[in-house]
Amino acid sequence: MPVSMNWSLDLPYFLAALAFGYLCGSIPFGLILTRAAGLGDVRQIGSGNIGATNVLRTGNKKLAAATLLLDALKGTVPVLIAWRWGPNLAVLAALGAFLGHLFPVWLGFRGGKGVATFIGVLIGLKIAAALIFAGLWLGIAFATRYSSLAALVASAVTPVVLWFMGEGQMAQLFVPLVVLLWWKHRENIRRLLRGTEGKIGQKG
């Protein structure tokens, strides 16, 4: 369903959708799960990120898979709930969830890099585009073993995919999300260019 971005929403509903998405997105599942498993602070290993790729560097594949799933769901769930009141609120919840993951208040606004939550909100808004993202990510990650490279390419293609699917306004929403995701990956980009980026499965 094409999203019609009508910004004449009542301000309380606007803020509620954004805040609800933010609170869901700000839950640091990677940190919570690794601490609960007795593996310490995941921010002290590897890239220092709280996402699934860095959790994998602990050597615990089950925890990494759980982190990936939960980080995606915290994007999907608020979008689907907000969608009951219309696609406009769903889009705002998506934006809030993504910002919450990147800048969680509980961690001093230093959060993850947003890949799992990016695909999570995409699942909630346009599952066909999410499947294309996942296919691109898997293909590039399998070929190169660079999770960051796969995420950068798949995310950059997402607004184009949405545009060709007739979701022009949704594509516009994802442009700033892609910019933020790339900004959060700026160190990864530097390491990729230097040839020093860590590969999938490489322990910290």
**H helix or E strand, kind and range, residue 146:** none
Asked if residue 133 lies in contact with residue 119, where contact means CB atoms within 8 angstroms, the answer is: yes
**pLDDT score recorded for residue 203:** 52
From CA 51, how far away is CA 34, in angstroms rounded?
11
Closest Cα to residue 98, out of 83, 120, 81? 120
Other C-beta atoms closer than 10 Å to the C-beta of 111 total 25
Q: Give residue limits of the domains in the chain.
A: 11-194
Residue 41's contacts (CB-CB under 8 Å, 6 or more residues apart) are: 31, 34, 35
User: What's residue 202's pLDDT?
Assistant: 59
pTM of the model: 0.88
Residue 26 carries which DSSP code?
A: T
The CA–CA distances, whole Å, from 156 to 54, 61, 98 equal 22, 27, 16
Tokens of 186: 């700026």
Q: For tokens 């009508």, what's the residue?
A: 6
pLDDT at 37: 86
- Cβ atoms of 149 and 190 within 8 Å: the answer is no
pLDDT of 82 reads: 95
The whole-number pLDDT of residue 8 equals 52
**pLDDT, tens digit only, all 204 positions of the chain:** 555 545 455 778 888 999 999 999 999 998 899 998 888 888 888 777 788 878 888 878 898 899 999 999 999 999 999 999 888 899 999 999 999 999 999 988 888 899 999 999 999 999 999 999 999 999 999 999 898 899 999 999 999 999 999 998 889 989 999 999 999 999 999 999 999 887 875 554
Directed axis angle between helix 147-164 and helix 186-194, to 10°? 120
Q: How far apart are CA 178 and CA 159, in angstroms?
A: 8
